[in-house]
Structure 1
Amino acid sequence: MARTGVQRAIGFAIALAAAALAGCPSSSGGGSKGGGADTIRIAVVGPMSGSGAAFGEMIRKAAELKVSEVNAQGGIGGRKVELVVEDDRGDTTEAANVARKLAGDRSISIVIGHFNSTCSNAAKEEYNRKGVVQFSPGSTNVSVCAGSPWTFRNLYRDDYQGTFLAEYAKNVLGAKRVAVIFDNDDYGRGLMEAFRKRAGEIGLEVLPPISYVRERTSDFKPVVGQLAGKPIDALFISGLYNEAALITKVAREELGLTVPILAGDGVMNDKFVEIAGKAAEGVYVTTPFLLDAAKGDPKVEAFRKAFREKYGKDPDTWAALTYDAVGMALEAIRDVGTDREKIRQWFAAHTSAGNAYQGVTGPTWFDADGDCYSKGAHVAVVKNGRFVPAERQYKPQAQ
């Protein structure tokens, strides 16, 4: 059928619109290829769904905030930054699949992630094989950076955190005999082992640890019930916020446990307080960064203000670490471009306080393995339904 003038005009307009859309960067989700030569693409990966989704929410929001700030200032060298967000669901199989996709996409310059130590370890081989920097703002298991020159992190390891927790239990809380309940994954098991090791060195008695498997254990009464009748001075929970909250509720409300409860940084999330309710009061948690402890610092206050304005709530520890991780990644790209090997070399060259990245959470620099020893630990305690700095902070005897 012959086309009229109006039909030809409509067809021409549709063609122009299609061409315009083809030239636009892709959206931030799904890891699809997009951008083009005028766009810098980086990825952030974490548990955007599943039992750790509250971690993923903060990670994603902080990454989006940092990218939006850089783009508002003109991007990098006139090029806009596109953030690709991927969900590993906190699952090792999915983490490996996501890593395979991102590492194989040459338009991705660097990956911020993963969060869970099990996921970082599962994904590491792919990033190492294809040669792309994996920069974690949350994985603390001691093996995360081992064996790969492409893997870095911007927080402490669990051997440091476990040492800190054992000493805090004995030297600050006055405990002599401690029970331990742990998640039998890389994070929970590794932190528990570090705690036990240091406890043995300083004369803190630890009962045989009780394990559970995250997302397979739903009823924690039989787990916590194993503590019935056993005299203890404290309970240490080595796991993530969801399960730790359920354990805390059972310990306080069913078992009637009144001794101090302390936990690692996997519990540092407002969802812990929400799930545990009143039982969360008085629980001590280690954290690599505490917003309220850094009040008055211009960088911290600017970050808090920007996050509040954009999302209507305060950032947490993991938001701050992710914000810094993205900031450091973009500084690398600003200095050396998007070549993956040059980015790796840039990261590997940051080996002292003299050339550390100065972020919200403090200076970030690395040892030869990509581990970060430039930041210590803080202690938060739940008071009136929120995490606040504990009255007594602590510096470990063994650094």
Structure 2
Amino acid sequence: MRSFLSGSRRRVFAGVVIAAAALGSATACGDDQGAGTSGPVYFGVSGPKTGPSAEYGRLWQQGFDLALEEINAAGGINGRKVELKWEDSQSDPKQTVPIATKFVDDKSIIAELGDFSSPASIAASPIYNRGKLVQYGFTNSAVDFTKAGDYSWSPSITLDVFQERNAEWISKRAKKVSVVYLETDWGKQAFQFFEKFAKEKGIEIAYSSPVLPDSTDVKPILIKGREANPEAFVHLGYGPDGALVVKQLRDVGFTGQFFGGQNTPQFISLAGAAAEGDIVNGVFTPADPDPKVQAFVKAFKAKFNVDPGDFNVYAYDALHVLVKAAKEGGATREGVLKALKSDTQFTGIGLGTFSFDQKTRRPLNVKPIELILREGKFVPTGNR
């Protein structure tokens, strides 16, 4: 194509292009530092706001909202307001991958929180590690999650620890059980660990079967489990499927002890009276007399008019931990990583005071607590 610019105009135009390119380069360099030294500090959240796991995103949002209110009222990070950039993943691996790419490319984001399920997080881990952006999978209990690299961290107790404690507590109440578990990678791994520890602790698994996450009728499976004459029924899964299992378990006539579901308002509401006496693993109970816990419970109830549960606490604690890291290491991607690697003490409502094992990037010496459902609330059994 022929140019109609004169020589002088061509030189001016070229100068503008060079200046613009230089400005863009300078801006990009500044962005690489993690949003510079003024304006809000951003954390990315990859989590479910719609879809089958949306309830967990709602619980996260409550925990984040209270944490943000407290953090920003206290001056944020060195006077800078803390804000979240949330992308709805539906906890689907197909969506977490492009979200990870988006977050890595957004240089204002200094760390990422999520995703809800371990498979959804694991799918995105290579992108976060290549992009050198901390992926803080605060609800990811799958053992393999943190194996992706130096930028994958989780304060979550792993499935092997959960299932060893689960088997230990069950062995005190039953020696013969039937088990149902989610037909997902997470569910299969949970069952493998439970099966291993059940054998070690003298528990006979009389019957076992996977159940599809979107099942609406599992009675044929439960009838077979009931006919194996177990002393107790064990469910390895989430809240909604746990509620379905325990309600239909009672419908087919099983009246024995149930171990399963989750410490969430959704499970308690959906399961209703069928879950009375249910026993679960947990990290938190509003009945904990610790003054710090009671102050949190009071603030949460004042804001949302309900008691907090595990997933509110997971989100609340996660944001506080990353903010502490950014304060200590610097409000940059490398600053957050530096603090996670060097800080020997973090605190939370759910885990108390803890530190990270630098090899596994998991919390050290943290154990779940045993909770029992009494009149619509999970309370401690006294076992740890």
TM-score bracket for the superposition, by shorter chain length: 0.7 to 0.9
Query: Which residue identity lines up with residue 55 of structure 2 in the other structure?
Result: A
C-alpha displacement at 1:339, in angstroms?
Answer: 2.1
2:12 corresponds in structure 1 to none
Contact 2:207 2:225 in 1 (8 A): no
Distance 1:223 1:373 in 2: 38
1:3 corresponds in structure 2 to none
Q: 380-389 or 276-285: which moved more? A: 380-389
Contact 1:134 1:151 in 2 (8 A): yes
Q: What SS does the aligned partner of 2:317 have?
A: helix
Distance 2:227 2:329 in 1: 61
Distance 2:268 2:317 in 1: 26
Q: Which residue, 343, 346, 350 being the options, matches 1:357?
A: 346
Q: What SS does the aligned partner of 1:182 have?
A: strand
C-alpha displacement at 1:168, in angstroms?
Answer: 0.8
Task: Determine whether 1:102 maps to 2:95.
Answer: no
Task: Determine whether 1:287 maps to 2:260.
Answer: no
List runs of 5+ in structure 2 lacking aligned partners. 1-33
1:393 corresponds in structure 2 to 383
Query: Which residue identity lines up with residue 242 of structure 1 in the other structure?
Result: P
Distance 1:145 1:237 in 2: 25
Task: Determine whether 1:366 maps to 2:356.
Answer: yes
- Note the 1:343-354 alignment, pairs <5 A: 343-350=336-343
Distance 2:35 2:194 in 1: 46
Distance 2:123 2:325 in 1: 25
Distance 1:114 1:346 in 2: 22
Query: Which string of whole-angstrom CA distances, capped at 9 and with x for unpartnered residues, describes residues 258-316 of structure 1?
Result: 111112xx622121121111111111111122231x22x22212211221222222211
Q: Which residue, 306, 312, 315 being the options, matches 1:313?
A: 306
Query: Which residue identity lines up with residue 154 of structure 1 in the other structure?
Result: P
Contact 1:133 1:340 in 2 (8 A): yes
Contact 2:208 2:225 in 1 (8 A): no
- Note the 1:219-298 alignment, pairs <5 A: 219-253=217-251, 255-263=252-260, 267-292=262-287, 294-295=288-289, 297-298=290-291
1:299 corresponds in structure 2 to 292
Q: What SS does the aligned partner of 1:209 have?
A: strand
Query: Which residue identity lines up with residue 272 of structure 1 in the other structure?
Result: F
Q: What SS does the aligned partner of 2:364 have?
A: coil
Query: Which string of whole-angstrom CA distances, capped at 9 and with x for unpartnered residues, describes residues 128-152 of structure 1?
Result: 1211111122111111111311111
List runs of 5+ in structure 1 lacking aligned partners. 1-32, 395-399
Residues 36/105 of structure 1: CA separation in 2 closer, same or farther (3 Å cut): farther
C-alpha displacement at 1:39, in angstroms?
Answer: 1.4
Contact 1:67 1:81 in 2 (8 A): yes
Considering only aligned residues, what root-mean-square deviation do their CA atoms show, in Å? 2.0
Task: Determine whether 1:329 maps to 2:322.
Answer: yes
Query: Which string of whole-angstrom CA distances, capped at 9 and with x for unpartnered residues, describes residues 327-352 of structure 1?
Result: 110111111222212311211224xx
C-alpha displacement at 1:160, in angstroms?
Answer: 0.5
Q: Which residue, 360, 363, 368 being the options, matches 1:377?
A: 368
C-alpha displacement at 1:62, in angstroms?
Answer: 1.0
C-alpha displacement at 1:237, in angstroms?
Answer: 0.3
Distance 2:219 2:182 in 1: 15
C-alpha displacement at 1:35, in angstroms?
Answer: 10
Distance 1:374 1:158 in 2: 15
Q: What SS does the aligned partner of 1:146 have?
A: helix
Residues 164/315 of structure 1: CA separation in 2 closer, same or farther (3 Å cut): same
- Note the 1:68-87 alignment, pairs <5 A: 68-87=69-88
Distance 1:101 1:219 in 2: 39
Contact 1:149 1:369 in 2 (8 A): no
Residues 338/35 of structure 1: CA separation in 2 closer, same or farther (3 Å cut): closer
Query: Which residue identity lines up with residue 360 of structure 1 in the other structure?
Result: I
Q: What SS does the aligned partner of 2:139 have?
A: coil
Larger radius of gyration: 2
Distance 1:240 1:268 in 2: 9
Q: What SS does the aligned partner of 1:328 have?
A: helix
1:177 corresponds in structure 2 to 176
Q: What SS does the aligned partner of 1:369 have?
A: coil
2:200 corresponds in structure 1 to 201
| TM-score, normalised with respect to structure 2 | 0.86
Distance 1:120 1:100 in 2: 13
Contact 1:154 1:364 in 2 (8 A): no
Residues 100/225 of structure 1: CA separation in 2 closer, same or farther (3 Å cut): farther
2:40 corresponds in structure 1 to 39
Distance 1:218 1:248 in 2: 12
Contact 2:35 2:107 in 1 (8 A): no
Percent identity for Structure 1 against Structure 2: 30
C-alpha displacement at 1:228, in angstroms?
Answer: 4.0
C-alpha displacement at 1:320, in angstroms?
Answer: 1.4
C-alpha displacement at 1:34, in angstroms?
Answer: 9.6
C-alpha displacement at 1:208, in angstroms?
Answer: 4.4
Contact 1:65 1:307 in 2 (8 A): yes
Distance 1:387 1:91 in 2: 29
Distance 1:83 1:154 in 2: 20
- Note the 1:107-118 alignment, pairs <5 A: 107-118=108-119
